[in-house]
Amino acid sequence: MGIQREFDSMIVPTKGEIDAPSSSRKNLCLSVVEPDIKDETSFQELDMILTQYLETLSKRKKYHIGTTFKGAIDDLDFVIQTLENCGYSNDRYYIHCDAALCGLILPFIRHAKKITFKKPIGSISISSHKFLGCPMPCGIQITRKSYVSSLSKIEYINSRDATISGSRNGLTPIFLWYCLSTKGHARLQQDSKICIENARYLKDRLLEAGISAMLNEFSITVVFERPYVHKFIRRWNLCYLRGMAHVVVMPGITREIIDSFFKDLMQERNKWYQYAKALPPCLADDFGSQNCMCSDNKMHN
């Protein structure tokens, strides 16, 4: 989530913000709220910044439904309430819900807060090539009709220009339609349930083995200590950042694959730290002390 001001021409992320993409943010100064351990927005900080810049903040706001690295999901209701508490009426802000990965998971999870246009959001975007599994990058953005109606009408196509580039690939909507119609509501619900269960299974196995790991609520992104040897990272095609790496447990990731990965990790890890020449990283600041299994953290606890 970002609080954006319109009088600067550079992007200045604060320490720890790893999920704000730098592309397509031109002529904006991005003042990012420092995330907490779960990588969610710190709402106390949000309240402070909103109050401090009540007259100068722009009308834009981004709400994450699954941040890129840790998979955290911001509390939309709390964001809206904080804006209202700081004196912002609905016409003074715009909330975009970035649901690239989790947009097709949350609707099928019991107790998860619903993302709906009954709440004062402006738009939501979902990537079709991620959880849904379309064979090429594509996605969809849904917004309110009032915003679309303000777009200019192009005379030679006798239609409004509702695309970013002025053109659209006709094949990707067919892929999207095919994936949705093939899976249907029941299969999407089943995939969501299985992926969340498998993510919890992997996280539990890692913690039980003494490996630092964390998993945010309703997320399928398991974050754990970065493997010591880069060869292992390449072998399993892991994404990593500082002392962390993550596994996104997608529908194609079975328990057998998880067990194979875990077995390989344990075998290699025993070699890396066998003679105590190297030690696993301390991730208490990133994961919270309860999820950090390093020797220093165990000693203090």
Q: Based on the number of CB atoms within 10 Å of its own CB, is 177 exposed (0-12), middle (13-18) or buried (19 or more)?
A: exposed
286 φ/ψ angles, rounded to the nearest 5 degrees:
-90, -35
Spell out where the chain has E strands: 2-5, 29-32, 60-64, 94-98, 123-127, 139-143, 153-154, 159-160, 213-215, 221-225, 239-241, 244-248
Q: Please tell me what DSSP assigns to residue 291.
A: G
**Cα angle, residue 124 at apex, residues 42 and 36 outer, rounded to 5°:** 15
What per-residue string of b and e applies to 210-227 under the rule 16 or more CB within 10 Å gives b? ebbbbbbebbbbbbbbbb
Is residue 165 part of the annotated active site? The answer reads: no
**Cα angle, residue 109 at apex, residues 104 and 114 outer, rounded to 5°:** 75
Contacts of 274 (CB under 8 A, 6+ apart): none
Spell out where 16-93 has E strands: 29-32, 60-64
Q: Which helix (DSSP H) or strand (DSSP E) does residue 170 occupy?
A: none
Residue with tokens 């949000």: 46
- Which one from 127, 192, 212, 219 is the annotated catalytic residue? 219
Question: What is each CA distance from 126 to 66, 137, 259, in whole angstroms?
Answer: 11, 11, 30
Query: Which residues are catalytic, by number?
Result: 219
